[in-house]
Amino acid sequence: MQSKRKRGSFLVRWWFTTKMALHGILANPLRSALTILGVAIGVASVVSLMGIGEGARRAVVEQFESLGSNVVTITANDPSVEFDPDYGEELVERVQGLEAATPVVNTKANIKWRRTRGKIDVVGVGNEFPSIRDHELAMGHFFTKAHVDQRIPVAVLGYNVGTSLLGGRNPIGKSISLNGSTFRIIGVLNFKGEGKANDIDNKIVVPYSSALKIAEKRTVDAIWGKAASEEDADLVIVQLGRIFRRKLGLDQNAPSHSSSGQEQGPSGNSEMGPDSMESMEPSGPPMSSPEPAAPNPILQSSGDELISITSLNQLVQEADKANRVMTLLLGGIAAVSLLVGGLGIMNIMLVSVTERRTEIGVRRALGAKQTDLLLQFLLEALYVSVIGAISGIAAGIWGLSIFEGQGFQTAVSLNAIKIATVVALSSGLLFGVYPAISASSVPPVEALRSQ
């Protein structure tokens, strides 16, 4: 019976203290509103800035991921280096973990279809392109190895080209003219999105043998490969690095340039073809643990990059890490305003304690305990923080929608909301402790005498 009486007394005191705390806030609406505004601005800044940073991070990661998983690119950065079109097949046979490879030719062509005229980007690849780039077709089919070997003029359209060029009609079986040559359309690639996958939606894909004819050249300037797994991609990077260093004569243990089997292209350039693969085979036992698959530039003695061997997986990870750091930096900058909001709470609470000394004295004289007053002022600080946090979250999400309407990619980050809410409530309670202790420690006689 006595325990029930104590429990009932505690609930009554709690309910009365809660009402007094709410009354303390409503008694000075302008002051309370300004304090809530300070907290809301801090929370909104954290939510919006971290949302912008998270949106930028996702956009960059999506750009890389749209190029395919476990993709390794070999790119010639110097006109003196060229690749034979058959070089990719030799690499697949000799590099462990490399599942597929395709030569890549990037060029432009004059397109003609009925009354449509203009310039368009053309990409020449092998039949392994869809599997390497993880790019499925929306309709039709991709060209085969026979199309490539026999130089059959067929074309696969990027999604935007397929939907706009023929006015929304099914393009399969239709013919277009590229640089005066007639190409039959056999497929349309799936939609990737604006700027993704090297803007493949706005390009035409043809066999590299046909693209070489359009570009009027015999060699390609890039090779795309696909590793079996992320671990194999690291190993492939290491093996390719050793192969190309030997080929270019930059490995001290490799044969000299004159004995490396290097052939000269028609312009005196270093042409890397299948005939020179024997001299490019890396020596020594296989590596048990690969080195990090960072971009692997093959350098001249002058420091200029001849060839870049890059794992897109590593680029995704590095971009993700860099953008996470940027997002946290933005959140940290915005969190300063939360600190200012917490200081505002303490300032207002101290003023409130000074102005309400009579109220404090009367409550103490009527039997209110020190813990009741401590709880009352802590609840006032907590109320202000909660209202400010809710308002700030709503304002931050609204601000993100404005940025998104202007073309920026944003994301509502749950972590940002959690962090902002916890910091706002913690700062409210932390900065409300001192005013609450000051209010609860005032003797009732002294409080009543001050008035």
pLDDT, tens only, 222-232: 899 888 887 78
Q: Is the pLDDT of residue 266 over 70?
A: no
Residue 351: what pLDDT? 77
Helices (H), 283-413: 312-355, 357-365, 370-405
With a pLDDT cut of 70, the percent of the chain lying above it is 78
Beta strands 270-272 and 81-83, pairing class:
parallel
Question: pLDDT band at 365, cuts 50/70/90?
Answer: low
- Comparison of pLDDT for 34 and 368, the residue scoring more: 34
pLDDT at residue 259, as a whole number = 33
Tell me the three state secondary structure of residue 72.
Answer: strand
- Using the 8-state DSSP alphabet, how is residue 191 labeled? P
Confidence of residue 210 (pLDDT cuts 50, 70, 90): very high
For residue 345, give the 3-state DSSP assignment: helix
State yes or no: pLDDT of 279 exceeds 60: no
Helix axis angle for 370-405 and 357-365, nearest 10°, is 140
Least confident of 68-72, 84-88, 283-287, 408-412: 283-287
Tokens coding 432 = 């409300």
Is residue 258 pLDDT above 50, yes or no? no
Record the tokens describing residue 64, joined without a space: 């890389």
Handedness of CA 314, 219, 148, 157 (dihedral sign): positive
Q: What is the mean pLDDT of residues 254-270?
A: 40
Residue 147 pLDDT: 92
Please give the residue that has the higher pLDDT: either 323 or 41.
41
pLDDT tens digits for 99-120? 889 999 999 999 988 777 889 9
Q: Phi and psi dihedrals of 99, rounded to 5? A: -80, -40
Q: Is the pTM of this model over 0.75?
A: no
What is the average per-residue pLDDT within 122-132? Answer: 91
pLDDT tier at 288, thresholds 50, 70, 90: very low
Q: Mean of the per-residue pLDDT values for the chain?
A: 77
List, in order, residues 6 or more apart from 293 with CB less than 8 Å away: 233, 234, 236, 237, 238, 311, 313, 314
Q: What is the pLDDT at residue 375?
A: 81
Q: Please say if the pLDDT value at position 123 is more than 90.
A: yes
**What pLDDT shows up at residue 188?**
92
pLDDT of residue 425: 85
Provide DSSP, 245-314. HHHTT--TTSPPGGGTT-EE-TTS-EEE-GGGSGGGSPPSSPPSSPPP---EEEE-TTS-EEEEEEEHHH
Q: Convert the pLDDT of each residue in 304-322 to its tens digit.
A: 577 888 887 777 777 777 7
Work out the pLDDT band at 289, boundaries 50, 70, 90. very low
Tell the burial category of 186 from Cβ atoms under 10 Å away from its Cβ (0-12, 13-18, 19+).
buried
CA distances from 266 to 275, 279, 369 (A): 16, 21, 97
Rg (CA), the chain: 34
pLDDT > 90 in the chain, percent: 16
pLDDT at 252 over 50: no
CA distances from 45 to 4, 34, 123, 400, 415 (A): 48, 17, 44, 10, 14
CA distance linking residue 201 with residue 210, whole number of Å: 20
The arithmetic mean of pLDDT across residues 401-423, rounded, is: 84
Flag whether pLDDT at 82 surpasses 70: yes
Mean pLDDT value of segment 8-19: 71
pLDDT at 398: 92
pLDDT at residue 74 greater than cutoff 80:
yes
pLDDT of residue 105: 92
Query: Would you state the pLDDT for residue 406?
Result: 82
**Residue owning tokens 């940290």:** 332
Neighbour count for residue 2 (Cβ, 10 Å): 6
Cβ neighbours of 255 (radius 10 Å): 12
Q: Contact 397/312 with Cβ under 8 angstroms?
A: no
Mean pLDDT of 181-210: 89
- Could you tell me the residue ranges of all domains in the chain? 15-63+318-449, 69-315
Going by C-alpha positions, the residue among 89, 81, 75, 103 that lies closest to residue 250 is: 81
Of 206 and 243, the one with more pLDDT: 206
167 versus 5: the higher-pLDDT residue is 167
Residue 205 has pLDDT above 90, yes or no: yes
Task: For residue 286, give Cα distances in angstroms to 235, 242, 246, 293, 357.
Answer: 10, 12, 16, 16, 82
| pLDDT at site 380 | 83
The closest of 397, 389, 395 to 428, measured between CA atoms, is: 389
